Amino acid sequence: MTFPVQKSEAEWQSVLKEKGAEPGALQVTRHAATERPFTGKYEAHWQDGSYHCICCGNLLFDAGTKFDAGCGWPSFSQAVPGAIKENVDLSHGMRRVETVCAQCGSHLGHVFEDGPAPTGLRYCMNSASLDFDAKAS
């Protein structure tokens, strides 16, 4: 899969540093690592606004679709249409659906089919992959 936004590892590192990303952000976004549950800055964050890809700024989720799944990662019931691409992930002996940013291919987390109505989806995301933007009032 190729993505419109392409950068080298060193370039991503400096982008993330500039944005004040969490220390594990490079491993999570570019190498599909998973942050430890209940450690991310957006896990219990309920402000009104929007969530963007930490790497390229692509709008991913509206804060209105965030819900408390109790799993320790920020969870959303709906993604912005076209913002996310899905890959089947067979690592760790499980069949999961990986979600990546449609613009830059950044690893975001996984999507599961046990979310709330009306979508029935649970986008289980890494805080380190997200950048929050408060809504201007």
Q: CB nearer to Zn ion: give 55 or 124.
A: 55
- For the stretch 80-84, contacts whose Cβ atoms lie closer than 8 Å and that sit 24 or more positions apart, written own/partner, are 83/58, 83/59, 84/60, 84/108, 84/111, 84/123
CA–CA distance, 92 with 94 (Å, rounded to integer): 5
Mark 78-117 with x for binding to Zn ion (rule: CB under 5 A) and - for no binding: -----------------------x-xx-x-----------
Determine which one of 53, 55, 56, 124 is catalytic. Answer: 124
For residue 55, indicate whether it is catalytic. Answer: no
Interface mask toward Zn ion for 33-62; x: CB under 5 A: --------------------x-xx-x----
Euclidean distance between CA atoms 13 and 119, whole angstroms: 35
Q: Which is nearer to Zn ion, 53 or 124 (CB)?
A: 53
The footprint of Zn ion on this chain (CB under 5 A) covers a number of residues equal to 8
The Cα 101–Cα 4 span in angstroms is: 10
Residues recorded for the chain: 137
CB nearer to Zn ion: give 101 or 125.
101
Spatial neighbors of 14 by CB under 8 A, at least 6 apart, are none
Rank residues 51 and 73 by Cβ distance to Zn ion and give the closer one. 51
Q: Which residues bind Zn ion (CB under 5 A)?
A: 53, 55-56, 58, 101, 103-104, 106
Catalytic residue numbers read: 124
